[in-house]
Amino acid sequence: MPHSLQVSTRSKRSRRSISKNGTLQLTDTYFKTNFGNHRLFSMAKKPLLEFTDKGIYCPAGKFYIDPWKPVDDAVITHAHADHAYFGNKHYLAHHFSKEVLLYRLGDIQLQTVAYGEKIMKNGVQVSLHPAGHVIGSAQVRMEYQGEVWVVSGDYKVEDDGISTPFEPVRCHHFISECTFGMPVYQWKPQAGIFNDIDSWWFSNQQHGLATVLVGYSLGKAQRILQNLDLNIGKVYTHGVIENTNEALRRNGLLLNPTERITADTLKEEVRKGIILAPPSSVGTPWMRKFQPYSFGYCSGWMAIRGAKRRRAADRGFVLSDHADWDGLISAIDATGCESVYLTHGYTATFARYLNEIGFDAHEVHTLYGDDEGAAPSDAAEEERSVQPTPEGKVSKRSEVKVSPSGEDSEGADAGEEPL
Ligand SMILES: [Zn+2]
Ligand SMILES: [Zn+2]
Protein backbone atom coordinates (compact mmCIF):
# COMPACT_ATOMS: atom_id res chain seq x y z
CA MET A 1 0.00 0.00 0.00
CA PRO A 2 1.53 3.30 -1.03
CA HIS A 3 0.91 5.07 2.23
CA SER A 4 2.64 2.46 4.34
CA LEU A 5 5.52 2.52 1.85
CA GLN A 6 5.85 6.23 2.41
CA VAL A 7 5.91 5.75 6.19
CA SER A 8 8.49 3.02 5.98
CA THR A 9 10.66 5.16 3.71
CA ARG A 10 10.49 8.00 6.20
CA SER A 11 11.33 5.82 9.17
CA LYS A 12 14.26 4.36 7.27
CA ARG A 13 15.44 7.82 6.36
CA SER A 14 15.25 9.00 9.93
CA ARG A 15 17.74 6.32 10.92
CA ARG A 16 20.30 7.70 8.52
CA SER A 17 23.49 8.84 10.10
CA ILE A 18 24.77 10.92 7.19
CA SER A 19 22.22 13.70 7.40
CA LYS A 20 23.80 16.98 8.25
CA ASN A 21 22.57 20.14 9.88
CA GLY A 22 18.86 19.55 9.83
CA THR A 23 18.72 18.32 6.27
CA LEU A 24 16.70 15.35 7.44
CA GLN A 25 14.18 17.63 9.08
CA LEU A 26 13.81 19.55 5.86
CA THR A 27 13.53 16.34 3.91
CA ASP A 28 10.73 15.02 6.08
CA THR A 29 8.84 18.27 5.87
CA TYR A 30 9.36 18.25 2.16
CA PHE A 31 7.96 14.75 1.87
CA LYS A 32 4.88 15.61 3.89
CA THR A 33 4.09 18.81 2.06
CA ASN A 34 5.09 17.85 -1.42
CA PHE A 35 3.97 14.28 -1.68
CA GLY A 36 0.94 14.08 0.62
CA ASN A 37 -2.15 12.91 -1.21
CA HIS A 38 -1.03 13.35 -4.75
CA ARG A 39 1.72 10.85 -4.17
CA LEU A 40 -1.02 8.20 -4.55
CA PHE A 41 -1.80 9.71 -7.93
CA SER A 42 1.82 10.00 -8.95
CA MET A 43 2.48 6.35 -8.13
CA ALA A 44 -0.16 5.29 -10.61
CA LYS A 45 0.81 7.51 -13.51
CA LYS A 46 3.55 7.02 -16.04
CA PRO A 47 6.96 8.15 -14.83
CA LEU A 48 8.14 11.43 -16.30
CA LEU A 49 11.38 9.86 -17.50
CA GLU A 50 12.11 6.51 -19.10
CA PHE A 51 15.43 4.81 -19.70
CA THR A 52 15.48 3.73 -23.34
CA ASP A 53 18.04 2.32 -25.74
CA LYS A 54 18.57 5.82 -27.14
CA GLY A 55 19.00 7.59 -23.82
CA ILE A 56 16.95 9.11 -21.03
CA TYR A 57 13.55 9.98 -22.51
CA CYS A 58 10.76 12.27 -21.37
CA PRO A 59 7.63 10.97 -23.17
CA ALA A 60 5.41 13.89 -22.07
CA GLY A 61 7.93 16.47 -23.29
CA LYS A 62 9.03 14.36 -26.28
CA PHE A 63 12.73 15.01 -25.70
CA TYR A 64 15.80 13.06 -24.67
CA ILE A 65 18.59 13.95 -22.29
CA ASP A 66 22.14 13.19 -23.51
CA PRO A 67 20.95 10.59 -26.05
CA TRP A 68 23.59 8.32 -27.58
CA LYS A 69 21.52 7.61 -30.70
CA PRO A 70 20.14 10.33 -32.99
CA VAL A 71 16.83 11.86 -31.86
CA ASP A 72 14.72 14.88 -32.80
CA ASP A 73 15.09 16.83 -29.58
CA ALA A 74 18.09 16.51 -27.26
CA VAL A 75 18.79 18.34 -24.01
CA ILE A 76 22.54 18.20 -23.38
CA THR A 77 24.01 18.32 -19.87
CA HIS A 78 27.52 19.13 -21.09
CA ALA A 79 29.79 18.96 -24.12
CA HIS A 80 31.81 15.84 -23.21
CA ALA A 81 31.66 13.25 -25.97
CA ASP A 82 29.71 10.61 -24.04
CA HIS A 83 26.92 13.12 -23.37
CA ALA A 84 26.85 15.21 -26.54
CA TYR A 85 26.61 13.03 -29.63
CA PHE A 86 26.38 14.12 -33.22
CA GLY A 87 23.22 13.55 -35.27
CA ASN A 88 20.37 15.04 -33.24
CA LYS A 89 17.99 17.40 -35.04
CA HIS A 90 17.79 19.94 -32.24
CA TYR A 91 20.02 20.59 -29.22
CA LEU A 92 19.44 22.53 -26.04
CA ALA A 93 22.38 23.34 -23.77
CA HIS A 94 23.79 26.06 -21.54
CA HIS A 95 25.23 29.24 -23.13
CA PHE A 96 28.77 28.29 -22.07
CA SER A 97 28.56 25.02 -23.99
CA LYS A 98 27.75 26.76 -27.24
CA GLU A 99 31.13 27.25 -28.91
CA VAL A 100 32.56 23.95 -27.72
CA LEU A 101 29.51 22.08 -29.03
CA LEU A 102 29.74 23.85 -32.38
CA TYR A 103 33.46 23.13 -32.52
CA ARG A 104 33.05 19.47 -31.62
CA LEU A 105 29.82 18.65 -33.46
CA GLY A 106 29.95 21.06 -36.39
CA ASP A 107 26.88 22.69 -37.82
CA ILE A 108 24.10 21.72 -35.41
CA GLN A 109 20.78 23.35 -34.63
CA LEU A 110 21.51 24.58 -31.12
CA GLN A 111 19.48 26.61 -28.65
CA THR A 112 21.27 27.80 -25.52
CA VAL A 113 19.86 29.07 -22.22
CA ALA A 114 21.07 30.55 -18.94
CA TYR A 115 21.01 28.62 -15.68
CA GLY A 116 17.52 28.76 -14.20
CA GLU A 117 15.88 29.95 -17.42
CA LYS A 118 12.59 28.11 -17.87
CA ILE A 119 11.43 26.79 -21.19
CA MET A 120 8.43 24.66 -22.03
CA LYS A 121 8.58 21.47 -24.08
CA ASN A 122 5.09 20.09 -24.76
CA GLY A 123 3.88 21.12 -21.32
CA VAL A 124 7.00 20.02 -19.42
CA GLN A 125 8.94 22.86 -17.82
CA VAL A 126 12.66 22.42 -18.41
CA SER A 127 15.51 24.37 -16.83
CA LEU A 128 19.26 23.90 -16.47
CA HIS A 129 21.13 24.27 -13.18
CA PRO A 130 24.86 24.34 -12.42
CA ALA A 131 26.49 20.91 -12.13
CA GLY A 132 30.01 22.19 -11.33
CA HIS A 133 31.55 19.45 -13.51
CA VAL A 134 33.05 21.52 -16.35
CA ILE A 135 32.34 24.91 -17.87
CA GLY A 136 28.71 25.00 -19.04
CA SER A 137 27.76 21.71 -17.40
CA ALA A 138 24.19 21.50 -16.21
CA GLN A 139 21.72 19.42 -14.31
CA VAL A 140 18.39 19.20 -16.12
CA ARG A 141 15.31 19.94 -14.01
CA MET A 142 11.92 18.90 -15.34
CA GLU A 143 8.60 19.76 -13.79
CA TYR A 144 5.30 18.30 -14.88
CA GLN A 145 1.98 18.12 -13.05
CA GLY A 146 3.57 18.99 -9.73
CA GLU A 147 6.34 16.44 -9.97
CA VAL A 148 10.02 17.32 -10.30
CA TRP A 149 12.75 15.15 -11.80
CA VAL A 150 16.39 16.12 -12.06
CA VAL A 151 19.09 14.54 -14.24
CA SER A 152 22.49 15.42 -12.83
CA GLY A 153 24.72 14.65 -15.81
CA ASP A 154 28.26 14.53 -14.45
CA TYR A 155 28.84 16.71 -11.40
CA LYS A 156 31.20 17.65 -8.62
CA VAL A 157 30.47 19.63 -5.49
CA GLU A 158 33.82 21.38 -5.02
CA ASP A 159 34.09 24.85 -6.57
CA ASP A 160 36.92 24.47 -9.10
CA GLY A 161 37.35 28.20 -9.68
CA ILE A 162 36.11 28.13 -13.28
CA SER A 163 32.88 26.12 -13.62
CA THR A 164 29.73 27.62 -12.15
CA PRO A 165 29.56 25.84 -8.76
CA PHE A 166 27.15 22.93 -8.24
CA GLU A 167 23.75 23.83 -6.83
CA PRO A 168 21.51 21.16 -5.31
CA VAL A 169 18.04 21.16 -6.83
CA ARG A 170 15.08 19.88 -4.81
CA CYS A 171 13.25 17.10 -6.57
CA HIS A 172 11.15 13.98 -6.18
CA HIS A 173 13.35 11.82 -8.40
CA PHE A 174 17.06 12.30 -8.95
CA ILE A 175 19.07 10.65 -11.72
CA SER A 176 22.67 10.69 -10.59
CA GLU A 177 26.04 9.58 -11.81
CA CYS A 178 28.29 7.76 -9.34
CA THR A 179 31.62 7.49 -11.15
CA PHE A 180 33.46 7.53 -7.83
CA GLY A 181 30.74 5.91 -5.71
CA MET A 182 33.07 3.98 -3.43
CA PRO A 183 34.18 5.08 0.06
CA VAL A 184 37.84 4.95 -0.96
CA TYR A 185 37.33 8.04 -3.11
CA GLN A 186 37.74 11.07 -0.88
CA TRP A 187 39.11 14.17 -2.55
CA LYS A 188 41.38 16.66 -0.85
CA PRO A 189 40.62 20.35 -1.45
CA GLN A 190 42.06 21.45 -4.77
CA ALA A 191 44.24 24.19 -3.24
CA GLY A 192 46.53 21.49 -1.81
CA ILE A 193 46.64 19.61 -5.10
CA PHE A 194 47.61 22.76 -6.98
CA ASN A 195 50.32 23.49 -4.41
CA ASP A 196 51.73 20.05 -5.17
CA ILE A 197 51.54 20.69 -8.92
CA ASP A 198 53.22 24.10 -8.59
CA SER A 199 56.05 22.65 -6.46
CA TRP A 200 56.60 19.81 -8.92
CA TRP A 201 56.66 22.28 -11.83
CA PHE A 202 59.10 24.58 -10.02
CA SER A 203 61.36 21.68 -9.13
CA ASN A 204 61.38 20.42 -12.74
CA GLN A 205 62.31 23.90 -13.87
CA GLN A 206 65.23 23.98 -11.43
CA HIS A 207 66.43 20.62 -12.73
CA GLY A 208 66.18 21.54 -16.42
CA LEU A 209 63.24 19.24 -17.06
CA ALA A 210 60.22 20.14 -19.13
CA THR A 211 56.90 19.72 -17.30
CA VAL A 212 54.11 17.89 -19.12
CA LEU A 213 50.76 17.72 -17.35
CA VAL A 214 47.98 15.58 -18.77
CA GLY A 215 44.29 16.26 -18.29
CA TYR A 216 41.37 16.05 -20.66
CA SER A 217 40.78 18.96 -22.98
CA LEU A 218 37.40 20.28 -21.83
CA GLY A 219 37.26 21.04 -18.14
CA LYS A 220 40.40 19.62 -16.61
CA ALA A 221 42.78 21.60 -18.82
CA GLN A 222 41.09 24.93 -18.04
CA ARG A 223 40.76 24.09 -14.36
CA ILE A 224 44.51 23.51 -14.25
CA LEU A 225 45.20 26.65 -16.29
CA GLN A 226 43.17 28.88 -13.99
CA ASN A 227 44.66 27.50 -10.77
CA LEU A 228 48.37 27.24 -11.55
CA ASP A 229 50.80 29.77 -10.12
CA LEU A 230 51.72 31.60 -13.31
CA ASN A 231 54.60 33.38 -11.59
CA ILE A 232 56.51 30.16 -12.16
CA GLY A 233 56.28 30.33 -15.93
CA LYS A 234 54.21 30.24 -19.09
CA VAL A 235 51.54 27.75 -20.04
CA TYR A 236 51.94 25.93 -23.36
CA THR A 237 49.18 23.85 -24.88
CA HIS A 238 48.70 20.91 -27.19
CA GLY A 239 46.54 21.83 -30.21
CA VAL A 240 43.53 19.85 -28.98
CA ILE A 241 43.51 21.77 -25.71
CA GLU A 242 44.17 25.11 -27.38
CA ASN A 243 41.28 24.54 -29.80
CA THR A 244 39.00 24.03 -26.80
CA ASN A 245 40.44 27.10 -25.09
CA GLU A 246 39.77 29.15 -28.21
CA ALA A 247 36.18 27.93 -28.36
CA LEU A 248 35.68 28.92 -24.73
CA ARG A 249 37.27 32.33 -25.33
CA ARG A 250 34.90 32.85 -28.27
CA ASN A 251 32.20 32.11 -25.75
CA GLY A 252 33.39 35.06 -23.66
CA LEU A 253 35.30 33.14 -21.00
CA LEU A 254 38.39 34.85 -19.65
CA LEU A 255 41.09 32.23 -19.50
CA ASN A 256 44.68 32.81 -18.45
CA PRO A 257 47.10 33.25 -21.34
CA THR A 258 48.31 30.15 -23.16
CA GLU A 259 50.59 29.51 -26.09
CA ARG A 260 49.86 26.82 -28.64
CA ILE A 261 52.82 24.56 -29.37
CA THR A 262 53.67 24.72 -33.07
CA ALA A 263 56.59 23.93 -35.31
CA ASP A 264 58.05 27.32 -34.37
CA THR A 265 57.91 26.78 -30.63
CA LEU A 266 61.41 26.65 -29.18
CA LYS A 267 62.15 23.63 -27.03
CA GLU A 268 64.28 25.67 -24.59
CA GLU A 269 61.41 28.10 -24.01
CA VAL A 270 58.89 25.31 -23.45
CA ARG A 271 61.20 23.81 -20.84
CA LYS A 272 60.68 26.82 -18.57
CA GLY A 273 56.93 26.60 -18.80
CA ILE A 274 54.34 23.91 -18.27
CA ILE A 275 52.83 21.92 -21.13
CA LEU A 276 49.16 21.00 -20.92
CA ALA A 277 48.49 17.87 -22.94
CA PRO A 278 45.43 15.66 -23.53
CA PRO A 279 45.37 11.93 -22.61
CA SER A 280 45.58 11.00 -26.29
CA SER A 281 49.07 12.51 -26.48
CA VAL A 282 50.53 10.12 -23.91
CA GLY A 283 53.27 8.01 -25.42
CA THR A 284 53.20 9.79 -28.79
CA PRO A 285 56.21 11.29 -30.57
CA TRP A 286 54.59 14.67 -29.87
CA MET A 287 55.21 14.16 -26.16
CA ARG A 288 58.59 12.50 -26.55
CA LYS A 289 60.01 15.52 -28.32
CA PHE A 290 60.02 17.41 -24.99
CA GLN A 291 62.62 15.08 -23.50
CA PRO A 292 63.97 15.33 -20.91
CA TYR A 293 60.66 15.91 -19.16
CA SER A 294 58.64 14.97 -16.13
CA PHE A 295 55.12 13.79 -16.87
CA GLY A 296 52.21 14.28 -14.50
CA TYR A 297 48.68 12.97 -14.79
CA CYS A 298 45.55 14.55 -13.26
CA SER A 299 42.69 12.16 -12.56
CA GLY A 300 40.45 10.98 -9.77
CA TRP A 301 41.66 7.47 -10.52
CA MET A 302 45.03 8.43 -9.09
CA ALA A 303 43.46 7.96 -5.66
CA ILE A 304 43.83 4.20 -5.97
CA ARG A 305 45.57 3.57 -9.24
CA GLY A 306 48.32 6.09 -8.81
CA ALA A 307 50.97 3.46 -8.34
CA LYS A 308 50.03 1.73 -11.55
CA ARG A 309 49.72 4.91 -13.57
CA ARG A 310 53.00 6.18 -12.21
CA ARG A 311 54.78 3.42 -14.06
CA ALA A 312 53.97 5.55 -17.07
CA ALA A 313 53.59 8.95 -15.39
CA ASP A 314 56.13 10.39 -13.00
CA ARG A 315 53.45 12.01 -10.86
CA GLY A 316 49.76 11.31 -10.34
CA PHE A 317 47.60 14.15 -9.06
CA VAL A 318 44.21 13.26 -7.58
CA LEU A 319 42.12 15.88 -9.29
CA SER A 320 38.66 14.89 -10.47
CA ASP A 321 35.73 16.70 -12.00
CA HIS A 322 33.34 14.21 -10.40
CA ALA A 323 31.97 14.14 -6.89
CA ASP A 324 33.75 11.89 -4.42
CA TRP A 325 31.93 9.51 -2.08
CA ASP A 326 30.92 12.17 0.44
CA GLY A 327 30.12 14.61 -2.35
CA LEU A 328 27.73 12.17 -4.00
CA ILE A 329 25.92 11.40 -0.76
CA SER A 330 25.64 15.03 0.30
CA ALA A 331 24.42 16.03 -3.17
CA ILE A 332 21.78 13.31 -3.25
CA ASP A 333 20.69 14.07 0.29
CA ALA A 334 20.35 17.77 -0.50
CA THR A 335 17.83 17.08 -3.27
CA GLY A 336 15.39 15.68 -0.71
CA CYS A 337 14.50 13.13 -3.35
CA GLU A 338 12.28 10.11 -2.90
CA SER A 339 14.14 7.92 -5.37
CA VAL A 340 17.55 7.87 -6.99
CA TYR A 341 18.51 6.31 -10.32
CA LEU A 342 22.21 5.67 -10.86
CA THR A 343 23.43 5.94 -14.42
CA HIS A 344 27.16 5.22 -14.43
CA GLY A 345 30.04 4.40 -12.16
CA TYR A 346 29.92 1.98 -9.25
CA THR A 347 26.16 1.73 -9.61
CA ALA A 348 25.65 -1.63 -7.84
CA THR A 349 27.74 -0.85 -4.77
CA PHE A 350 26.44 2.65 -4.46
CA ALA A 351 22.78 1.65 -4.96
CA ARG A 352 23.14 -0.99 -2.23
CA TYR A 353 24.58 1.56 0.17
CA LEU A 354 21.91 4.16 -0.59
CA ASN A 355 19.19 1.56 -0.01
CA GLU A 356 20.77 0.64 3.31
CA ILE A 357 20.65 4.23 4.50
CA GLY A 358 17.04 4.71 3.49
CA PHE A 359 16.94 5.90 -0.09
CA ASP A 360 15.01 4.12 -2.78
CA ALA A 361 17.93 3.65 -5.17
CA HIS A 362 18.03 1.89 -8.52
CA GLU A 363 20.69 1.11 -11.07
CA VAL A 364 19.90 2.01 -14.66
CA HIS A 365 21.78 1.11 -17.79
CA THR A 366 23.21 3.94 -19.86
CA LEU A 367 26.16 4.32 -22.18
CA TYR A 368 27.80 7.18 -20.30
CA GLY A 369 31.47 6.63 -19.64
CA ASP A 370 33.35 7.78 -16.63
CA ASP A 371 33.79 11.04 -18.31
CA GLU A 372 34.12 13.01 -21.44
CA GLY A 373 35.31 10.35 -23.82
CA ALA A 374 38.41 12.40 -24.45
CA ALA A 375 40.11 9.44 -26.00
CA PRO A 376 37.79 9.11 -29.01
CA SER A 377 37.15 12.82 -29.44
CA ASP A 378 40.72 13.91 -28.94
CA ALA A 379 42.01 11.21 -31.26
CA ALA A 380 39.51 12.32 -33.88
CA GLU A 381 40.51 15.94 -33.40
CA GLU A 382 44.14 15.05 -33.84
CA GLU A 383 43.35 13.34 -37.09
CA ARG A 384 41.42 16.36 -38.30
CA SER A 385 43.94 18.97 -37.33
CA VAL A 386 47.40 17.54 -37.15
CA GLN A 387 49.71 20.14 -35.71
CA PRO A 388 53.22 20.36 -37.07
CA THR A 389 55.87 19.94 -34.39
CA PRO A 390 59.58 20.59 -34.10
CA GLU A 391 60.08 16.89 -34.90
CA GLY A 392 57.68 16.81 -37.77
CA LYS A 393 54.12 15.59 -37.69
CA VAL A 394 52.19 14.47 -34.67
CA SER A 395 51.53 10.77 -34.80
CA LYS A 396 47.99 10.05 -35.89
CA ARG A 397 47.87 6.94 -33.77
CA SER A 398 46.60 7.35 -30.28
CA GLU A 399 47.98 4.96 -27.73
CA VAL A 400 45.10 5.60 -25.38
CA LYS A 401 42.62 2.76 -25.46
CA VAL A 402 39.23 3.77 -26.75
CA SER A 403 36.44 1.93 -25.02
CA PRO A 404 33.11 1.38 -26.75
CA SER A 405 31.35 3.39 -24.08
CA GLY A 406 33.44 6.41 -24.89
CA GLU A 407 35.51 6.61 -21.78
CA ASP A 408 38.22 9.15 -21.36
CA SER A 409 41.41 9.53 -19.43
CA GLU A 410 39.64 8.87 -16.17
CA GLY A 411 37.51 6.24 -17.83
CA ALA A 412 40.35 4.60 -19.64
CA ASP A 413 41.15 2.83 -16.43
CA ALA A 414 37.62 1.84 -15.73
CA GLY A 415 37.79 -1.49 -17.47
CA GLU A 416 40.35 -2.65 -14.95
CA GLU A 417 39.55 -4.18 -11.62
CA PRO A 418 38.21 -1.31 -9.55
CA LEU A 419 40.09 -2.22 -6.43
ZN1 LIG B 1 30.15 11.54 -18.40
ZN1 LIG C 1 31.68 14.76 -18.28
pLDDT by residue (tens digit) across 363-390?
999 999 866 333 333 333 333 332 223 3
Residues 312 and 315: their CA atoms lie apart, in Å, by 9
Q: How far is the CA of 80 from the centre of ligand 2 (A)?
A: 5
Ligand approaching nearest to the C-alpha of 156: 2
Same domain? For 107 and 8 the reply is: yes
- Residue 223, helix vs strand vs coil: helix
Domain count, the chain: 2
Query: From the CA of 311, how far away is ligand 2's center (Å)?
Result: 26
From ligand 1's centre to the CA of 253, what distance in Å?
Answer: 22
For residues 31, 37, 38 and 40, what is the CA-based torsion angle, rounded to 10 degrees? 100
Distance CA 54, CA 51 (A): 8
71 CA → ligand 2 middle, Å: 20
CA of 82 from ligand 1 middle (Å) equals: 6
Q: In this model, does residue 234 exceed pLDDT 90?
A: yes
User: Mean pLDDT throughout 205-222?
Assistant: 96
**pTM of the full structure:** 0.81
| Sheet hosting strand 293-298, strand order edge to edge | 259-260, 235-237, 274-277, 210-214, 293-298, 315-317
Domain assignment of residue 249, yes or no: yes
Region 131-142: mean pLDDT is 98
379: in domain? no
Mean pLDDT of 31-35: 36
pLDDT tens for each residue of 242-281: 999 999 999 999 999 999 999 899 989 999 999 999 999 9
Residue 248 CA to residue 98 CA, distance in Å, equals 9
Tell me whether residue 418 is in a domain. no
| Predicted local distance difference test score (pLDDT) of residue 43 | 52
The ligand whose atoms approach the alpha carbon of 80 most closely is 2
Distance 177 CA to ligand 1 centre (A): 8
pLDDT mean over 204-232: 97
| Phi and psi angles of residue 237, each rounded to the nearest 5 degrees, phi first | -130, 145
The Å distance, Cα 178 to ligand 2 centre, comes to 12
Q: What is the mean pLDDT of the chain?
A: 81
At 1 the pLDDT is 32
Query: If you measure from the C-alpha of residue 89 to the centroid of ligand 1, how many angstroms do you get, rounded to a whole number?
Result: 21
**Residue 232 Cα, ligand 1 centroid: separation in angstroms?**
33
Q: Considering the domain boundaries, does residue 134 fall inside one?
A: yes
Q: Which ligand is nearest to the CA of 406?
A: 1
Name which residue leads in pLDDT, 27 or 123.
123
CA dist., res. 203 & res. 225, Å (int): 18
The ligand that comes nearest to the alpha carbon of residue 411 is: 1
- The pLDDT score that the predictor gives to residue 44 is 58
Distance 81 CA to ligand 1 centre (A): 8
> From the CA of 154, how far away is ligand 2's center (Å)?
5
- Examine residue 44 and state whether it is found in any structural domain, yes or no: yes
User: Do 278 and 408 touch, CB atoms closer than 8 A?
Assistant: no
How close is the Cα of 172 to the center of ligand 1, in Å? Answer: 23
Asked if 32 and 167 sit in the same domain, the reply is yes
What's the distance, CA 356 to chain centroid?
A: 27
Same domain, 317 and 328: no
How confident is the model at residue 402, as a pLDDT? 27
Query: Could you tell me the CA-to-CA distances from 353 to 9, 150, 173, 336, 370 in Å, in that order?
Result: 15, 21, 17, 17, 20
Q: Which ligand has an atom closest to residue 134 CA?
A: 2
Peptide bond connecting 67 to the previous residue in cis, omega within 30 degrees of 0: no
In the prediction, which pLDDT does 302 show? 85
Residue 198 lies in domain: 190-321+384-413
**Ligand 2 centroid – CA 318 distance (Å):** 17
Spacing, Cα 372 to ligand 2 middle (Å) = 4
Top mean-pLDDT range of 44-58, 165-179, 297-311, 405-419: 165-179
Contact between 90 and 73 under an 8 Å Cβ cutoff? The reply is yes
Å from CA of 126 to ligand 1 middle:
21
**Do 248 and 393 fall within a single domain?**
yes
pLDDT > 90 fraction of the chain, expressed in percent and rounded: 71
Ligand 1 center from residue 267 Cα (angstroms): 35
Give the rounded percent of residues in the chain with a pLDDT score beyond 70.
76
**Residue 73 is part of a domain; what is its CATH number?**
3.60.15.10
Q: Give residue 176 CA to ligand 2 midpoint distance, Å.
A: 13
| Claim to verify: residue 247 and residue 351 sit in the same structural domain | no
**pLDDT tens profile 283-336:** 899 999 999 999 999 988 888 765 455 557 889 999 999 999 999 999 999 999
Average pLDDT over residues 349-353: 96
If asked whether residues 157 and 83 sit together in one domain, one would say yes
**Are 239 and 388 in a shared domain?**
yes
